A and B are shown apart, each in its own frame.
Chain A
Amino acid sequence: MLEKIMNMDRRIVFILAGLAVVIPTLLPVSLPITVSEPTQKLYDYIDALEPGSTLMMAFDYGPSSLAEPEPMAEAVLKHCFDKKVKVVGVTLLIDAVTLADQLMQKVAEEKGAVYGEDYVLLGYRPGGFQVILGMGSEIASIFDNDYAGKPLSEIPMMENITNYEQISLLLDLASGSTVELWITYANAKYDLTIAAGVTGVIVSQMYPYLQTGQLVGLLPGFLGAAQYEKLINSSGKGTAGINTESFVHLLIVGLVIIGNIAYFMTRQRGES
Chain B
Amino acid sequence: MKRQVPLVLCFLFGIVMILTEFSPHSDSQELYKEVGRWYLVITPFAYVIGVMTLVQVHGTRIRRRAEYWQYSYVVFAGMILMVVVGMPTFLNQTPFFQARGISFGLQSPVFEWLFEYVQVPMEATTFSLLAFFIASAAYRAFRARTFEATLLLISALIVMMGNVPIGDYIWNTVMGETPWTDGTSWARQWILDNPNLAARRGIILGVALGVISQSIRIILGIERSYLGGD
Direct contact of A and B (CB under 8 A): yes
Q: Is A62 an interface residue (CB 8 A)?
A: yes
- Interface residue count on the A side (C-beta < 8 Å): 67
Which residue of chain A has the shortest Cβ distance to B204 in the bound complex?
A208
Instruction: Indicate if the CB atoms of A63 and B120 lie closer than 8 Å.
Output: yes
**Docked CA distance A135–B29 (Å):** 14
The stretch from A82-90, A95-103, A111-119 touching chain B is A95-103
Contacts of A237 in B (CB 8 A): none
User: Which one, B29, B157, B164, B182, contacts A246 given CB within 8 A?
Assistant: B164
Q: Is A207 an interface residue (CB 8 A)?
A: yes
Query: Which of B107-163 touch A at CB < 8 Å?
Result: 107, 112, 115-116, 119-120, 123-124, 126-128, 131-132, 135-136, 138-140, 142-145, 153, 157, 160-161, 163
User: Which one, A62, A133, A245, A259, contacts B139 given CB within 8 A?
Assistant: A259
Instruction: Indicate if the CB atoms of A125 and B185 lie closer than 8 Å.
Output: no
Using A98-B106, A249-B160 as known contacts, say yes or no to A127 and B140 having CB atoms under 8 A apart: no
Instruction: Indicate if the CB atoms of B36 and A259 lie closer than 8 Å.
Output: no
Instruction: Indicate if the CB atoms of A34 and B138 lie closer than 8 Å.
Output: no
Q: Mark A11-36, 1 if CB is under 8 A from B, else 0.
A: 00110111000000000000111101
**Docked CA distance A137–B192 (Å):** 36
Which residue of chain A has the shortest Cβ distance to B150 in the bound complex?
A260
**Docked CA distance A212–B140 (Å):** 38
Q: Mark B43-72, 1 if CB is under 8 A from A, else 0.
A: 110010000000000000000000000000
Instruction: Indicate if the CB atoms of A34 and B142 lie closer than 8 Å.
Output: no
Query: Which of A152-186 touch B at CB < 8 Å?
Result: none
Contacts of B138 in A (CB 8 A): 252, 255-256
Q: Is B76 an interface residue (CB 8 A)?
A: no
Q: Mark B20-53, 1 if CB is under 8 A from A, else 0.
A: 0000000001000100110110011001000000
User: Which one, A34, A66, A126, contacts B120 given CB within 8 A?
Assistant: A66
User: Which one, A10, A32, A211, A263, contacts B136 given CB within 8 A?
Assistant: A10
Q: Is B177 an interface residue (CB 8 A)?
A: no
Instruction: Indicate if the CB atoms of A32 and B33 lie closer than 8 Å.
Output: no
Instruction: Indicate if the CB atoms of B165 and A242 lie closer than 8 Å.
Output: yes
Instruction: Indicate if the CB atoms of B185 and A64 lie closer than 8 Å.
Output: no
Instruction: Indicate if the CB atoms of B119 and A31 lie closer than 8 Å.
Output: no
**Docked CA distance A126–B47 (Å):** 10
Query: Which of B152-205 touch A at CB < 8 Å?
Result: 153, 157, 160-161, 163-169, 182, 185, 189, 192-193, 196-197, 200-201, 203-204
For residue B214, give the distance in angstroms from its CB to the closest CB of chain A.
15
**Docked CA distance A64–B124 (Å):** 4
**Docked CA distance A264–B143 (Å):** 9
User: Which one, A32, A134, A148, contacts B168 given CB within 8 A?
Assistant: A32
Looking at chain A's contact residues, is the secondary structure mostly helix, strand, loop, or mixed?
helix
Using A63-B123, A65-B127 as known contacts, say yes or no to A8 and B139 having CB atoms under 8 A apart: yes
For residue A186, give the distance in angstroms from its CB to the closest CB of chain B.
14
User: Which one, A36, A147, A260, contacts B185 given CB within 8 A?
Assistant: A36
**Docked CA distance A149–B167 (Å):** 48
Instruction: Indicate if the CB atoms of A263 and B166 lie closer than 8 Å.
Output: no
**Docked CA distance A256–B152 (Å):** 12
Instruction: Indicate if the CB atoms of A131 and B40 lie closer than 8 Å.
Output: yes
Instruction: Indicate if the CB atoms of B163 and A221 lie closer than 8 Å.
Output: yes
Q: Is A109 an interface residue (CB 8 A)?
A: no
Instruction: Indicate if the CB atoms of A248 and B135 lie closer than 8 Å.
Output: yes
Using A134-B40, A137-B33, A246-B166 as known contacts, say yes or no to A67 and B160 having CB atoms under 8 A apart: no
**Docked CA distance A14–B44 (Å):** 41
Contacts of A272 in B (CB 8 A): none
Which residues does A use to contact B, with CB under 8 Å? 8, 10, 13-14, 16-18, 31-34, 36-37, 62-67, 95, 97-99, 101-102, 125-127, 130-131, 133-134, 137, 141-142, 147-148, 200, 203-205, 207-208, 211, 220-223, 226, 242-243, 245-253, 255-256, 258-260, 263-264
Which residues does B use to contact A, with CB under 8 Å? 29, 33, 36-37, 39-40, 43-44, 47, 106-107, 112, 115-116, 119-120, 123-124, 126-128, 131-132, 135-136, 138-140, 142-145, 153, 157, 160-161, 163-169, 182, 185, 189, 192-193, 196-197, 200-201, 203-204
In the complex, the 8 A-B pairs of residues with the closest C-beta atoms, listed nearest first: A246-B166, A31-B165, A63-B123, A246-B164, A255-B139, A63-B120, A64-B127, A208-B201
